[in-house]
Amino acid sequence: MSTKEAVYSLVKIIPKGKVATYGQIARLSETGPRVVGKYLHQNQNSEVVPCHRVVHADGSLATSYAFGGDDKQMQKLKSEGVNFKNSKVDLKSSLWNQIR
């Protein structure tokens, strides 16, 4: 399995209402957070690989979210039940702890 496939496989299992960080995905796929971001930006189908569920370590969103920018990413996350404090994901309540 390529690193890109590993990243996509991990992102596919993040449940609705939860998020993972680029760093979490990077550690598990044995790559770097920027590589994870690059692969997610190349994602062709956000319904299959829900890349909107991956956020920065401080809960901030991707300004270059490939499917409409950070406003669209926030909208999608809120519709799935992800909690926010100001404009950042509340990681205490929304971080998926099953992925480390």
* Active site residue ranges: 51
Contact present, 74 and 84 (Cβ < 8 Å): yes
Cα gap 14→81, rounded to integer Å: 13
